[in-house]
Structure 1
Amino acid sequence: MVANRLPVDFTVDENGDVDWQRSPGGLVTALEPVMRGADGAWVGWSGAPGLEHEPFTADEMLLVPVTLSADEIERYYEGFSNDTLWPLYHDVISPPTYHRQWWDAYRKVNLRFAEAAAAQAAPGAVVWVHDYQLQLVPKMLRDLRPDLRIGFFDHIPFPPVELFGQLPWRSQIVEGLLGADLIGFQRGGDASNFVRAVRRLTKHTTRGPIVTVTDDDGQITRHVRAAAFPISIDSKHFDELARKPEVQERAAEIRADLGNPQIMMLGVDRLDYTKGIRHRIKAYGELLQDGRLDVEHATLVQVASPSRENVGAYQELREHVEGLVGRINGEFGELGHSAIHYLHHSYPPEEMAALYLAADVMLVTSLRDGMNLVAKEYVAARSDDQGVLVLSEFTGAADELAPGPLLVNPHDIDGMKDIIVAAAHMDHREQRRRMRRLRRKVMSDDVAKWSETFLGVLTAMPPRTSHV
């Protein structure tokens, strides 16, 4: 496994001993169950600048740290990954920034990851590379170790070629990805976007999801498959968490602390401009202003976990969101009844399960999202078959879960207001019908099935030959 981050944050004391704790993040949450007990290694960055250490074992996994300097973190991670690729791949909701120095750092760091993976991999091993921070690794790894079976999974959207074409290093990214045997995406549309980019930007030929890779002499060397493999969660784990008596007691306690509202709405997001937090809060504030909801009977809990706080766009977003929350609370709040409870923290899974159980309406209003695992966590936690999921049609989850959720276009504030009101007043019979449908999907298509499907397709692909 090769990913930007290790599944743990670790520190080394003066005696050289390692102290570690599990690190947060959706990618880690998704991949950790896959790696537990597997005969393999996880290559990734420690999360701290300049920290060097030999491979070590934690939580039954061999972890191989890749060292990044503070300058590389600024240029490769905060710069090219999160201020160039992230906004470009999310429909330019925020304008991307292009710097040649950032690209140089990205290329240099990708090579370091590839070299670390090449050093760990046994002959003929399977290597699974993850996400937009490491798109050059497949080809670099292929050049270093042509014996390997290489898969790549893109956890975020892949943009239309009309947007992707803005990137000065677009061809290098495409060729980097084509080093893999299998390239996975969240949605069929993302896979199609990639294949179109191959046709537009390279000389390789395509037929459906298959890209035929040729060398400089035009000889066919490999076939690469690009396809959708929608990711999921450890559904059983969340279901079991939500059934624990202490979690159910905590859910009741949360509602009591909020004044036992008739309608508790919940948003859970990283504080990211792609998540539609401002649109959601604006719609909720207008519903209070219109009198269609009131603070005596309804409240919104917004969990916004800290994210990329060194990137300017994220600092501006936090200021805007907190200002909006303050204005709405000041205008509509009453003693004992806040309009919005805003929580700028991350919470452990037990607390999240309790929040999901407490919430009558889950609001997922992303402007663009590869999948959105929060929507699936909410469903997995609702073994009582109650609750309503309001879900943006611009998430990968919308492709999978419809018609169970109420789908919304977050750019349409009036339409979103109507759907929020419909969710708040949905009768229990309709809630049960929709939630049962959602749970059948989420409980059967879990993260284990996702990884088994991807790895099954990867290992079944024909072996590479010099001329196919």
Structure 2
Amino acid sequence: MSGSHEFVVVANRLPVDIRTDEAGEITWTTSPGGLVTALAPVMQSQDGAWVGWSGSAEQTLEPFEADGMHLVPVPLNAKEVTEYYEGFSNATLWPLYHDVIVEPEFHRYWWNTYVEVNQRFAEAAAGVAAQHGSVWVQDYQLQLVPEMLRRLRPDVRIGFFDHIPFPPVELFGQLPWRQRVVEGLLGADVIGFQRTGDAANFLRAVRRFTDHGTRGQKVTIGQHWNRPERHVRVGTFPISIDSAKVDALARTEKITQRAAQLRSELGDPDVLMLGVDRLDYTKGIRHRIKAFGELVAEKKVTVPRTALVQVASPSREQVQQYKTLRQEVEVMVGNINGDHGSWGRSAIYYMHHSYPFEEMVALYRAADVMLVTALRDGMNLVAKEYVAARPDLGGALVLSEFAGAADELGQALLVNPHDIEGMKSAMLKAASMEPAEQRRRMRTLRKRVLENDVQSWAEKFLAVLQHMPQRTSHV
């Protein structure tokens, strides 16, 4: 069972947003994600296929062509969306992998559905990959796919990239199906993580929960029946953004004018602070707002001369913890604005919706201080977008040491978001930083972000995958 596509991406979602109009006609638009940007050239040059869910329950679509890619939709019914996606992926794995900031839920029926859906993704990939082709599986929703695919198609090279943190064994060990997940990942030839700590955590999990040997960054899967011995490479490949695109957009007259207009609409504050996040409990939004509120209350900053814009795009609104978080954030913002705002001037401008990317780049250009205060984050691309959007070398980045970006962006002001006093000090330092120091820090940050873009991330991973030994067709 083999297809004709030399390169196959398997991800939870297809790289397009699909809509069905009243007449039943299906239309699609390309999703703006960085993964699509990174892989589109590879897909187009190698006749690539992309396996993923359309994003709608109970929708069955035939494979179709879009933007030079062959798209293979994997259908999910409403029960599977609830149990595999909202349940096991986002109420079990997500909190478990993010330091148990909220308590994970362990339900056997969620796990069973996760297994079934992963099998369906593996079968779809097996059906389109060419003989001796390459398959790249993406992220925590599909951790069982590598092993399942290896059983179906031992001839293909398989890569897996984990976009979120991989937890320490003391936390990962809580998962009742921990060994199954580790074995699922070890079906890959190359397993990539954002940070060296994540790779080290995974290797510890291999040693703790399996009998496979590890040496350095290599796991040896011993011979079993008629399966030959093989090696799995575990590596660190920090993801990035299309930094040249952001940089070019930020330089346009339209964006420069819009940035000035935004500042004017906000009352031309002396210092404009900015937070941009999905409304997620991992992002440290409450900690950031608490720190800002205390600075205002202590009169270390004054309103309206200093303002905070917090963009919190809606996320997983069916999950209870996210509903609770929204209520808590909105109460905090309301209290601070009630205590310290004035007619027509807020201390915090809170926006619970998404904006077009051009508007976000204008906001980045307008902001004097960017606050990225995640409690745990695989990477955090907002930090890199802010840096890429500052060709003027202005602005200061306050960055959580618990975000993967902290490994690369050492010229940011690094903070522990649990340390409210420390965060307040960093915010004040960022707000009063001399232009010469801003330029010095931002020049170094930009060099890193512009040189290590999302294209080079994909190229580095795929280069390692292509150097792995070719497999035979025998199971």
Question: Same-fold call, TM > 0.5?
Answer: yes
Q: Which of 125, 130, 133 is equivalent to 1:122?
A: 130
Amino acid at match of 1:46: S
For residues 433 and 146 of structure 1, the distance between their equivalents in structure 2, rounded to whole angstroms, comes to 51
Alpha-carbon deviation of 1:209? 0.6
Find the aligned partners of 1:28 and 1:106 in 2 and give their Cα distance.
24
What residue is the counterpart of 1:386 in the other structure?
Answer: 394
Find the counterpart in structure 1 of residue 264 from structure 2.
Answer: 256
Matched, 1:149 2:157: yes
Is the Cα–Cα contact under 8 Å of residues 243 and 450 in structure 2 kept in the other structure? yes
1:136 to 144, 153, 159: 144
Code of the residue aligned with 2:451 in structure 1: it is S
- For residues 393 and 26 of structure 1, the distance between their equivalents in structure 2, rounded to whole angstroms, comes to 23
Deviation at 1:465, TM superposition (A): 5.9
1:4-19 equivalence runs, <5 A: 4-13=12-21, 17-19=25-27
- Over 3 Å counting, the alpha-carbon distance change for 1:409 and 1:36 in structure 2 is farther
CA distance in 2: counterparts of 1:275 and 1:114, whole angstroms: 32
* Cα distance in 2, alignment partners of residues 418 and 288 from structure 1: 13
User: Could you list the per-position Cα deviations for residues 242-285 of structure 1 after superposition, in whole angstroms to 9, with x for gaps in the alignment?
Assistant: 11111111111100000010100000000000000000000000
Could you say if the C-alpha distance between residues 361 and 37 of structure 1 is closer, same or farther in structure 2, counting changes exceeding 3 Å? farther
Decide whether the 8 Å contact of 1:76 with 1:102 is kept in 2. Answer: yes
Deviation at 1:349, TM superposition (A): 1.3
Mapped pair 1:426 → 2:433: yes
CA contact (8 A) 1:76 1:103 kept: yes
**Is 1:194 aligned to residue 202 of structure 2?**
yes
Larger mean Cα displacement after TM superposition, 52-61 or 20-29: 20-29
**Contact 1:221-1:464 at 8 Å conserved across structures:** no
CA positional deviation for 1:61 = 2.0
Structure 2 CA distance for partners of 1:334 and 1:14, relative to 1, 3 Å:
closer
Cα shift at 1:21? 2.2
| 2:132–2:470 contact (8 Å) kept in structure 1 | no
Cα distance, 1:462 vs structure 2: 2.1
2:218–2:232: 8 Å Cα contact kept in structure 1? yes
Residue 412 of structure 1, aligned match among 405, 408, 419: 419
- List alignment gaps of at least 5 residues for structure 2: 1-8
Residue 169 in structure 1 maps to residue 177 in structure 2: yes
Residue 362 of structure 1: aligned partner: 370
Residue 304 (structure 1) aligns with: 312
Partner of 2:192, secondary structure, is strand
* Deviation, structure 1 residue 218: 11
- Counterparts of 1:343 and 1:31 in 2: how far apart (Å)? 31
The verdict on how the C-alpha distance between 1:331 and 1:32 changes in structure 2, with shifts beyond 3 A counting, is farther
> Which of 401, 404, 410 matches 1:396?
404
Q: Which residue of 2 aligns with 1:332?
A: 340
* Amino acid across the alignment from 1:176: G
Kindly provide the CA deviation profile for residues 376-404 of structure 1, in whole angstroms up to 9, marking residues without a partner as x: 000001000110010000011000111x1
Partner secondary structure for residue 411 of structure 1: coil
Q: Secondary structure at the match of 1:80?
A: helix
Aligned-residue Cα RMSD (Å) equals: 1.7
Deviation sequence 1:409-456 (CA, Å, 0-9, x none): 000000000000000000100000000000000000000100000000
Alignment partner of 1:317 is 2:325: yes
Matched position secondary structure for 2:130: coil
CA shift for structure 1 position 33: 6.1
> Per the alignment, do residues 250 and 304 of structure 1 end up closer, same or farther by CA in structure 2, a change over 3 Å counting?
same
Is the CA contact 1:221–1:466 (under 8 Å) kept in the aligned structure 2?
Answer: no
Shift of 1:28: 4.8
- Indicate how the Cα distance of structure 1 residues 39 and 335 shifts in structure 2: closer, same or farther if over 3 A, else same: same
Asked if 1:93 corresponds to 2:101, the answer is: yes
Distance 1:34 1:347 in 2: 29
Aligned to 1:108: 116
Task: Quote the residue 1:277 is aligned against.
Answer: 285
Given that residues 33 and 234 in structure 1 are in contact (C-alpha distance below 8 angstroms), is that contact kept between their aligned partners in structure 2? no
Q: Is the 8 A contact 1:37 1:61 kept in 2?
A: no
* Gap runs ≥5 in structure 1: none
Larger deviation: 16-25 or 435-444? 16-25
Q: What SS does the corresponding residue of 1:125 show, helix, strand or coil?
A: strand
Residues 62-93 of structure 1 show CA distances to partners (whole Å, capped at 9, x for unaligned) of: 21111000110000000000000000000101
Could you tell me whether the CA contact under 8 Å between 2:53 and 2:74 is conserved in 1?
yes
- Aligned identity (percent) is 66
Q: Contact conserved, 2:50 with 2:71, CA < 8 A, in 1? A: yes
Q: Does 1:445 align with 2:441?
A: no
State the 1:27 CA deviation: 4.8
- In structure 2, relative to structure 1, the CA distance for the partners of 1:30 and 1:311 (3 Å cut) is farther
Displacement after TM superposition at 1:29 (Å):
5.8
Name the amino acid aligned to 2:162. D
Shift in CA distance, 269/23, structure 1 to aligned 2, threshold 3 Å: same
Say whether the 8 Å CA contact 2:199–2:234 is kept in structure 1: yes
Pair 1:34–1:284, CA change in 2 (3 A): farther
Change (3 A) 1:59 1:217: closer
Q: For residue 318 of structure 2, what is the amino acid of its counterpart?
A: N
Picking from 432, 447, 466, the partner of 1:459 is: 466
* Structure 1 residue 56 displacement after superposition: 1.1
1:70 to 2:78 alignment: yes
Whole-angstrom CA distance in 1 between matches of 2:472 and 2:154: 10
Q: Residues 466 and 29 from structure 1, CA distance in 2 versus in 1: closer, same or farther, beyond 3 angstroms?
A: closer
Q: Matched residues in 2 for 1:151 and 1:9: separation?
A: 25
Secondary structure in 2 matching 1:94: coil
Give the TM-score of the pair, scaled to structure 2. 0.95
Which of 454-463 and 5-14 deviates more? 5-14
Structure 2 Cα separation of the partners of residues 2 and 394 of structure 1: 28
Between stretches 6-15 and 431-440, larger displacement belongs to 6-15
Determine if contact 2:153/2:473 at 8 Å carries over to the other structure.
no
Contact 1:10–1:18 (CA under 8 A) maintained in structure 2: yes
Other-structure match for 1:61: 69
**Structure 2 letter corresponding to 1:86:** W
Native 8 Å contact 2:34 2:241 kept in 1: no
1:22 Cα deviation after fit: 3.1
Write out per-residue CA displacement over residues 105-136 of structure 1, whole angstroms, 9 at most, x where no aligned residue. Answer: 10000011011111111111110000000000
Q: What's the CA shift for 1:96?
A: 0.3
Q: How many residues align?
A: 466
- Are the equivalent residues in 1 in contact too, given 2:38–2:458 (CA < 8 A)? no
In 2 relative to 1, CA 215–313 (structure 1 residues): closer, same or farther, beyond 3 Å? farther
The alignment status of 1:436 with 2:424, answered yes or no, reads: no
Equivalents in 2 of 1:37, 1:270: separation in Å?
A: 33
Does the Cα contact within 8 Å between 2:154 and 2:473 map onto a contact in 1?
A: no
Quick check: 346-355 or 366-375, which moved more?
346-355
Residue from 355, 358, 361 that aligns with 1:353: 361
